Every structure is written in C-alpha cells, then in structure tokens.
Structure 1
Amino acid sequence: MQVDCVYVEDLRNEEYQTHLVQRLNEMIGVKEVSIDSDLKCITLRYETPINLNTLEKEIYDSGFKVLRTKKGEREHG
C-alpha cells in the first residue's frame, strides 16, 4: 500500500472537501483519504490498480490546483 500527500492551492470550504473525499473514495484501489485544510494537504492511502498520476488528475478535475506531491513510504500489510 502506498501513502502520498498531494498539496493543493486552496481547499475552499467543507462542502468541496466532502465532495472530493467522496469522489476519491469511489475510485478502485483507494483505501483512505484525509484532508488537512491548514496544510492544504490531501493524504491518500491506496494500492494498485490506482496510481498517483490518476489521483492527481482526479483532484485537478475536481477543481483543485495541485501544487506538489510528497511521496510517502510504501506500507506492507
């Protein structure tokens, strides 16, 4: 399992955050999504078949400008 953090320009309000979390959680392979609005960071826990590029595109398509990504460590188990 992979854990990465995607930093975005603006997390707007709670309604947008809720919509984004629901949209990402519907994707096959996504196990957990958490948002830190203070850090403007979306933490993603996922496994194949999904990949980080696809997740970034989904975040972008949801109206969020992706600033950078911090790749985390691969989790086992």
Structure 2
Amino acid sequence: MIKLTAKNYNGISIIINKPITLTTNSSIIKGEKNKNVITLNVDGANINGFEIIVENASAINVNGNNNNISNCTIK
C-alpha cells in the first residue's frame, strides 16, 4: 500500500502497472491539460480518497479488471 501525504499534487500523470493500493485522506491531484490523470494498466489495483481535477482527458483510465476506485471526487 502507498499512502500519499494530504497535499496538492499539480501537473502529474500516474501510470500504475502493478496491483497496488494508492490511498490518501485528502489529497488533490490536478492533471495536465489533455492528459489522463491516473492510468491503471493492471488487474486488482485500488485507488482511494482522492479529489481529481482534470481538463479534456480522463480522470482515471482503466485498462484492466477487478480494480477498485472508492471515495474519489472527480471535477
């Protein structure tokens, strides 16, 4: 499990290729314009607790099965 510190993360894209749990209590991820914010290229990943801000792209692009996305807000 990877638990991110509660803060703002700006201009990032996250690509997950292994079945991990990525969690936070109140982090905000603001993606770059026209780029997916989180891409899951795996089965069995868990994403929990994020506010995701996206412009002209996908907040979470899922290319796998049995992934769990919970307690996330997408704007």
Please say whether Structure 1 and Structure 2 have the same fold, judged by a TM-score greater than 0.5. Answer: no
| TM-score (norm: length of structure 1) | 0.28
| TM-score (norm: length of structure 2) | 0.29
Structure with the larger RCO, 1 or 2 (CA within 8 Å, 6+ apart)? 1
